Amino acid sequence: MKIGSVSLESPFVVAPMAGMTDTAFRRLVKREGGCGLVVTEMVSSEGLVRGIDRTLEYAEYTEAERPVSIQIFGGDPLKMADAAQIVEGMGADIVDVNMGCPVPKIAKHNAGCSLMREPAHAAAVIGAMVKAVRIPVTVKMRAGWNDRSRNAPELARMVQDAGASAIAVHGRTAEQSYTGVADWSLVAQIAESLDIPVLGSGDCVEAVQVLEKMSSGVSGVLVGRGVLRNPWILAQAAALAAGQTPRTVTPLERGRFLLEYIELLLAERCDEAEGFRHAAPGAEGSTVNAPPPEARGRQRWVINKLRALCAWYTKGIDSGSSLRVRVNAATSIDELRAIVHEFFLTTPLNVTSDGLLSSRR
Ligand SMILES: Cc1cc2nc3c(=O)[nH]c(=O)nc-3n(C[C@H](O)[C@H](O)[C@H](O)COP(=O)(O)O)c2cc1C
């Protein structure tokens, strides 16, 4: 599949998820295979343009994640165009526009899903961005604002005409938030009617569901919560698509994933080789956007990250709720490691210099 000039080796994509799909997580998922594209957490266009926003770090990525799409949000066409240029300057492959976020804090600023309520303005935002950059501009939208306004089909056409290179549709309305089910028939209808690639999003928890959704006629599938539960889901879907049996993920692998995530988070911005991290101008080396440097602050940050991931990661596994309770009660990294180790692993592990794990046996 191609988005503009960018070729994706697989149609399966890590969906943008604020607070969850940070660069460390994306690197680990990408490593498992089957992932054609990763999308960053949403980044404020205002923050990018001013270069002072604490959320600037959300746009950072590493070479290992390519192709990378950086998702921005905002409602001012000029600022969105400026932000797109910053994203292009960071070397990202694609700039994506968030037209799906239903959270009032975002939506009230004429950004996120509230752009869907003003289609002409939304198209003007895309038009301004397309003029400003050479990389593909894409849009992620919902079915509409509410059941009385399920205007994704019309808006999708308008942003296509404004120059968007691809569109992703999460088949719920903003009012639905995450309740009910995603309307994949609407997604299929949009895919049928547009000339650019249309990707669908919503409710793929099993690899087989990712494949089923592909048969609705979309060019690709974004997987969100399914990746948080099972970071191997894209690799498993790719295996299924190739007619192979998807691999079974062992408890050992599940434990190692969490331990490696801890180590990568602990190592973020510490002793990184030059050029390892692609950061916005002003953010490189800046401590404003880095995880807290002091050991205790950083540990707290990592513990909170693990708690957030484990809220999803422990779903659907035996005794997952007991693991979740224990992770939530952990107060130090050592305790966290011991909990993960005891739950998933029987073999002691070494941490290598790159933050990855090797078995001592
Ligand atoms: C914790 C969380 C954070 C999310 N953050 C974003 C975001 O920053 N930008 C965005 O476009 N969608 C965001 N989404 C929506 C997802 O990208 C996806 O469209 C939605 O969860 C439906 O897909 P799923 O059922 O595979 O999770 C978020 C979803 C979750 C669960």
Torsion of CA 274, 279, 283, 285, to 10 degrees: -10
Ligand 1, CB cutoff 6 Å, lining residues: 15-18, 20, 41-42, 71, 98, 100-101, 140, 170, 201-204, 222-226
Average the pLDDT over 31-45 and give the result. Answer: 96
Question: Which of these is catalytic: 35, 101, 113, 310?
Answer: 101
Whether the pLDDT of residue 286 is over 50: the answer is no
> If you write DSSP's letter for every residue of 64-82 in order, what string do you get?
GG-SEEEEEE-S-HHHHHH
Q: Pick the residue whose CA is nearest to atom 26 on ligand 1.
A: 224
| Rounded Cα gap, residues 172 and 174, in angstroms | 7
pLDDT band at 360 (very low <50, low <70, confident <90, very high): very low
pLDDT-above-90 percentage for the chain? 80
Which is the closest atom of ligand 1 to the Cα of 15? 17
Whether the pLDDT of residue 115 is over 50: the answer is yes
The reported pLDDT for the residue numbered 58 is 87
The preferred substitution site among 38, 170, 312 for testing ligand 1, maximizing ligand atoms within 8 Å of CB, is 170
Task: Look up residue 198 and give its two tokens.
Answer: 């249309």
Task: Look up residue 316 and give its two tokens.
Answer: 């659907």
pLDDT band at 309 (very low <50, low <70, confident <90, very high): very high
Which is the closest atom of ligand 1 to the Cα of 140? 11
Between 311 and 348, whose confidence is greater?
A: 311
Q: Are 231 and 317 in contact (CB under 8 A)?
A: no
Ligand 1 midpoint to CA 221 (Å): 13
Average the pLDDT over 305-334 and give the result. Answer: 95
Ligand 1 midpoint to CA 224 (Å): 6
Whether the pLDDT of residue 352 is over 80: the answer is no
Task: Look up residue 111 and give its two tokens.
Answer: 């950004």
Which is the closest atom of ligand 1 to the Cα of 227? 26
Q: Nearest to residue 94, comparing CAs of 111, 126, 69, 118? A: 69
pLDDT-above-70 percentage for the chain? 90
Ligand 1 midpoint to CA 350 (Å): 34
Whether the pLDDT of residue 354 is over 80: the answer is no
The reported pLDDT for the residue numbered 203 is 97
Q: Pick the residue whose CA is nearest to atom 14 on ligand 1.
A: 17
Ligand 1 midpoint to CA 97 (Å): 13
Q: Pick the residue whose CA is nearest to atom 31 on ligand 1.
A: 225
Between 179 and 295, whose confidence is greater?
A: 179
Whether the pLDDT of residue 331 is over 60: the answer is yes
The reported pLDDT for the residue numbered 49 is 92
Span 238-258, pLDDT tens digits: 999 999 999 999 999 999 999
Tell me if residue 101 is catalytic: yes
| Rounded Cα gap, residues 136 and 160, in angstroms | 12
Ligand 1 midpoint to CA 353 (Å): 33
* Packed helices 77-89 and 119-132: angle between N→C axes, nearest 10 degrees: 40
